[in-house]
A and B are shown apart, each in its own frame.
Chain A
Amino acid sequence: MSKGIAITGMGIISSIGNTVEENFNALKSVSHGISRIEMLETRHKDEIMVGEIKKSNQDLIEQLGLEPSHCFSRTAMIGAIAAKEALQNADVSDVNDYRTGFISGTSVGGMDTTERHYLGYPETPKYRRFIEAQHAGFTTQSISDYLGINGYVSTISTACSSAANAIMLGARMIRAGQLDRVIVGGTDALSKFTINGFGTLMILSDEECTPFDDNRKGLNLGEAAAYLVLESDEVVEKSSKKILGRVTGWANANDAYHQTASSSNGEGAYLAMKEALKVANISAEDIDYVNAHGTATPNNDLSEGVAMTRIFGEDNMPVFSSTKAFTGHTLAAAGSVEAVYSLLSLRDDLIFPNLNFKTQMKEFSLVPQTELISKGMNTILSNSFGFGGNCSTLIFTK
């Protein structure tokens, strides 16, 4: 097995908690964060269920101590909160004591501020500082400036696999010796843009989502930010730090089938999982648990299920679950949210359940783990797929 890259810190804010421990407690007590929309003004408030962080923008501004003239979007604010926790968790007091980079995934960027102010820009000069804040790169820059990182900073925007790709890039850069430390993950806030966008695709559920269920009606959108701190073995040794786990496998493949839909044979997902196992230098039997992408759309769960049976064999499926029924689909952040959950699973030997599952799908015999269980684990595989055929897989090891 490859030694992989050390993870020394993590941070998260999601609809089930504002810190890693709050998220852990919610997962452990099987308490989900799916509700009606309260913080965002939208006509679809009473039509859909979402995973919303129950903090107003004003709460977030105060928590971060931002100046009144700030131009942080909600996406940037939750990102800054999670990234800060990750650095504290990794016991980093000076971000510039080593060559430190920041890689963040986002799909909406600052769209939440744009849709609030767009029509007002011509008449209202004080809003205009938010014009530039729409852009994904600006969101990342706001967070990196907040953290004091001014070297290598980049943003990945591959829709719902963005954070997974950010983790992958960070691991590769550390392995190649380009950076000593890198904060990787993703952030996306709820916005009218995504609510309406996914609405036009008719894949939003009006109930709590039911991943891998035969009667699944679609996804619940969510908002979250989550980051990991990756450090080189030299840095870890010098500071004799505790390691939370290692990223040992990663891969990115493209389904090249359709702009938004996944192929019926799950080719991209299959290729990503296969290649990630190869990078980790392990075989499919070594996987103790799969944290599936499992969005609960008819298309994703079928395609991913087929891909998993191709990798593991229908009769040899490891325990798997989708945690999206806890948080909703947090889009660009999903890969890092689920990375944090995978690390918590490894830490406490717990598998977090796939909520709301009742009926096995007709197409195969796969049944997700529906109860919280304790299980000794060494290796977890986590999937994240997105529009544009983007399929990414990460493997985490104790």
Chain B
Amino acid sequence: MSNCYINGIASISAQPTTDPDTFLDEVIHHKESIFRSHDPNYKEFIKPAAMRRMSKSVKMGVTTATMALNNSGIEMPDAIITGTGMGCKQDSEKFLENILHNDEQFLTPTLFIQSTHNTVGGQVALGLGCKAYNVTYVQGAASFEVSIKDAQLMLSESPEKNILVGGIDEVAKNSTLLHKLDGQIKEDDIDVIKLLDSKTSGTVTSEGAIFMVLGAEKTDKTLAKIIDVETRSSATPNEIKTDIEKFVARQGLSIQDIDAVILGNNGDVEHDHYYKSLQSSIFSNTEQLCYKHLTGDYPVASSFGFWLGTRIFDTNKVPSVLKVNDISAKGYNTILLYNQYLGKNHSIALLQRC
């Protein structure tokens, strides 16, 4: 397996995360169970003619892709791989509602064209004129990680490549609300910053995009090394514990070598035990960090963990708002990420400082 370096990264989330000079210095306290991203001025990144048909996820995706490429110094990637759990929900929802409310009449093509899951990947390619490999993964909470796995495989096949990998998900007015009906989202609005202390089932949701430029060569822009990523469709908490131990051992490391662990706790009392059983066992002596009380949970929310990792390596500090136990590492060289959603689509990843 060849090396896999993060040589550029950009994030749009429900927090101000687009300014490279700050690191969660100020956080927004969201008060609703469904909240929107904190947006940059998209007009700085996208021409008006191109923007007129773009839904939120396309705007977020194209913008973070541009920013990540800029900060890696790469102009034209050799592959574009995107992950999304629910795709272009806003346009899918509008097209569906038009079908249902107008008895399948007077429908227009733009919404349909924009509704496919690979819209963001296609639009990024179109904007760059990039004719290379282009794939979109849609695997729930593991959508971002299976995208990285493909990139990692590609780097082992062709180490000279620079690969643009992104994760995007957006909130849509009505279909996101449906997740209140099926219990995925908490019924009542809450003070999101206190999400991790929640005593109820379900979580809170938002939207965001993260793009990274991955390469097998370390450059002067390198932010971190992705040692490995693993996904698993379903597992019990005990199986996950064993998986993590094996995963770490395979890299020639032990749990003691992990300086901090970034976990996907989302305040859902039905499923947070996947994290809690790790927090109270193998990671009881490790610095533990969480972020979904800032970003909300959505299928590619776990990509935020990768962004956090690169920012922690860069600044060598951890904003206290992320910390959920009293242990502080002496320094940050090795960070492990673990995430799951409703007991499905588990992902484990290991990042290392370069």
Contact = CB atoms under 8 A, between A and B. Distances in A.
Q: So, do A and B actually touch in the complex, CB under 8 Å?
A: yes
Interface of A: 42-44, 102, 106-107, 109, 111, 114-115, 118-119, 121-122, 125, 128-129, 131-132, 134-138, 140-141, 144-145, 149-159, 165, 169, 172-173, 176, 178, 192-193, 196-201, 252-260, 267-268, 271, 386-390
A159 B125 CA distance: 15
A389 B126 contact: yes
Contacts of A259: 113, 119, 122-123, 126
A154 B139 contact: yes
Given A255-B131, A388-B122, A201 B109 contact: yes
Interface residues of B, number: 62
State the main secondary structure of chain B at its contact with A: mixed
Interface string B158-191: 0000000000000000010011011010000000
Contacts of B340: none
Contacts of A135: 85-86, 138, 140
B122 A137 contact: no
Nearest to B98: A196
Interface of B: 80, 85-87, 92, 95-97, 99-100, 103-105, 107-109, 112-113, 115-119, 121-123, 125-126, 128-140, 142-143, 146, 150, 153, 156-157, 175, 178-179, 181-182, 184, 231-235, 299, 344-345
A114 B96 contact: yes
Contact of B131 (A121, A256, A260, A386): A256
A8 B32 CA distance: 52
Given A42-B104, A135-B140, A389 B125 contact: yes
B100 A200 contact: no
Contacts of B128: 256
18 contacts: A102-B233, A125-B181, A128-B181, A141-B234, A155-B137, A157-B136, A165-B135, A176-B157, A193-B112, A196-B95, A200-B108, A201-B109, A259-B123, A260-B113, A388-B136, A389-B125, A389-B126, A390-B135
Given A43-B103, A135-B85, A255-B131, A387 B113 contact: yes
Contacts of B136: 156-158, 388
A253 B107 CA distance: 31
Given A156-B135, A254-B134, A259-B122, A193 B153 contact: no
B138 A157 contact: yes
A200 B112 contact: yes
Contact of A152 (B133, B143, B231): B231
Contact of A389 (B95, B100, B134, B146): B134
